[in-house]
Amino acid sequence: MDKIHKLNVVHRLEKRRLLIAINCVAGLSILFFGYDQGMMGGVNTAYDYYTRMGFGHKGPDGGAVVDNSLLQGGIVSVYYLGTLVGCLVGGSIGDRFGRIKTIFIGAAVAVVGATLQTSAMNHEWMICARLVNGWGTGILNAIVPVWATETAEHKSRGQFIAIEFTLNILGVVIAYWLEYGCSFYGDGTSSFIWRFPIAFQIPMLLALMAVVLFFPESPRWLVKVGREDEARYVLGRLRGSEGENKENAEAEFQDIVASCELERSNFRKQNYLLMLFGVGSGKMHTGRRVQLVIWLQIMQEWVGIAGVTIYAPTIFGIAGMSPAKRQWISGLNNIFYMFSTLICVFTLDKIGRRWTCYWGSVGQGFAMLLAGVFSYLGQQATADGNTSKAAGYGDAAVSMVFLFTFVFGATWLTVPWLYPAEIFPLEVRAKGNAWGVVGWSIGNGWLTLLCPIMFKQLGEKTLYIFAACNAITIPMVWALYPETNQRTLEEIDLLFASDSIWNWEAEKNFTRLHEQAGYGTTTNGKGDEEHGPSRKQSLVRGMGLHMDSVEHHEK
């Protein structure tokens, strides 16, 4: 393919090897994202940092005493204001100029932000630097899951994204233990203790910038902008260019072309405001999809992970741990967290997105509830002078936090990032995924701003709030979120074609369209494998029948 540069890896790698290479590059971005998230937990406890920024002083036990919780939380949370702005910019750039160029731009902006953070001399400087770093991260978060999702096969889409989020938590682990090691530098007052960990993210970003330009563009974006020959070639390399693989790749290509044509004919050009309210989207119902991804991401943070990731030492302090002990216990918790993500790699494409969220919410809710109870009992035992009983309750509370992060890593970590990249039409997929990052930014920024205040005012009762949020997510997912597992990205437009917001109506409508299209009632992707090249005609016919009949049927 002459139009694709000769150094592009698409000419040398094929099928699973190419998919793995793409996901390694996407994983490098996600690794940076995890590192950036986990970094502030250790930075906040560095003596030179909290005194230079002016929100704390050293306490009698050697730990940080926060004098200005609002300033501490504000420095952390302004990053999420940056990601909110950055993701909207990234979604627009990604839909207009492609996934690869957008990743490069996002990494470049993040390098500038990381450099400014490393050199910060006061809290005003740090706030501005965190804002810029958030812009870059928001751009990357808006586009990287889309690129990975659009290149993966529908049968293993969840597995590949789950692997990337194993790397995400590896980033958190690296950040934590690097900062733990740096904390022993000198007499504990050097700025190196917090500046070096911040600077450590820069090599990851430079590596991402160096390699991403040698990787293929998403075939779906190439179809969208009319570069169909390139799209067919890239898709052929991704799926295989011989025998049945070649036929299936051609069938998938025709599905993409047909779906793109139908999207253009059934809703007018969308900007963020039109998408939010679903104006001009017709049966595509972009407004509903936007609301679903925003609230899924908000609830991901409010089930408790934002508090645990950044304020784990605070939680362990409430449970009665000493400053030194709470630091290494937090690091050990992150290691368990990383290994738990491997469960999602093997289960997400088998049990689906909905059941993954269900069992996650149950496990997380009980863990948060019991962590709060044991923390309370430990504090009561301490007040009564019973140190042995207090230590026992403290250990029990810590084990519940471990359980929470383990279950979260196996369930809710991945689904809210995968779902937005799956459910939007090709015409606005990057913008749609950006709305998911908006939800994540709102949930995370809101919670990290409030967490210091909540822990200070409510203590262990903060954990009860997280437990209640887990309970709320179960009926929310059951009623409103259709299953996307084992469905092609093109089929998902059919799944959201119903005018009803309820999941069961969406599933009934989807089944009816499949029956009218003449290829059965499949909902798990088997029909795709059995009918191979006939999928294009089935999809187009199903959409045509829908436009003519669904309104009458739902009346």
Indicate if 268-517 has the same CATH topology as 7-217: yes
Q: What is the pLDDT of residue 451?
A: 80
Report residue 215 CA to chain centroid gap: 22
417 pLDDT above the threshold of 80: yes
Q: For 264-279, how does the pLDDT look when each residue is reduced to its tens digit (9 = 90+)?
A: 776 667 789 889 888 8
Q: pLDDT (tens digit, 9 = 90+) per residue, 169-223?
A: 899 889 988 988 898 888 888 999 999 999 999 999 999 999 999 999 999 999 9
What CA–CA distance (Å, rounded) separates 358 from 278? 28
Query: What band does 398 get if pLDDT is binned at 50, 70 and 90?
Result: confident
Which of 27-31, 242-246, 361-365, 428-432 shows the lowest mean pLDDT across its residues? 242-246
CA atoms within 13 A on the CB side of 223: 28
Mind giving me the DSSP string for 440-477? HHHHHHHHHHHHHHHHHHHTTHHHHHHHHHHHHHHHHH
User: Which of the following CATH numbers is that of domain 7-217: 1.20.1250.20, 3.30.1360.10, 3.40.50.1220, 1.20.1260.10?
Assistant: 1.20.1250.20
So where are the chain's domains?
Answer: 7-217, 219-267, 268-517
Q: What angle do CA 148, 308, 202 make, to 5 degrees?
A: 50
Alpha carbon distances (Å) from 139 to 32, 50, 147, 289, 433: 13, 29, 13, 20, 11
Give the C-alpha distances (Å, rounded to integers) separating 554 from 283, 495, 509, 540, 542. Answer: 13, 15, 9, 21, 16
pTM of the predicted protein model? 0.84
Residue 121 has a CB neighbour count (10 Å cut-off) of 10
Q: 419: closest CA among 438, 409, 433, 405? A: 433
**pLDDT at position 199, please?**
96
* 3 state DSSP class of 66: strand
Cβ-count burial 309-318 (b if 16+ within 10 Å, e if not): bbbbbbbbbb
Domain 268-517 listed as CATH 1.20.1250.20: yes
For residues 289 and 263, what is the distance between their CA atoms, to the nearest angstrom?
15
Residue 225 has pLDDT above 70, yes or no: yes
In the predicted model, what is the mean pLDDT of residues 217-243? Answer: 91
Contacts for 133 with CB less than 8 Å, ≥ 6 apart:
36, 79, 82, 110, 113, 114, 116, 117
Question: What whole-number distance in Å separates Cα of residue 361 and Cα of residue 472?
Answer: 9
- Give ∠ CA 535-487-442 in degrees, rounded to 5: 140
16-29 pLDDT per residue, tens = 899 999 999 999 99
Instruction: Say how many Å lie between the first and final Cα of the chain, rounded.
Output: 50
Q: What confidence category does residue 310 fall into, taking pLDDT thresholds of 50, 70 and 90?
A: low
Q: Kindly tell me if the per-residue pLDDT of 387 is higher than 60.
A: yes
Residues 40-97 have pLDDT tens digits of 878 888 899 999 998 888 877 667 788 888 888 888 889 988 998 999 999 999 999 9
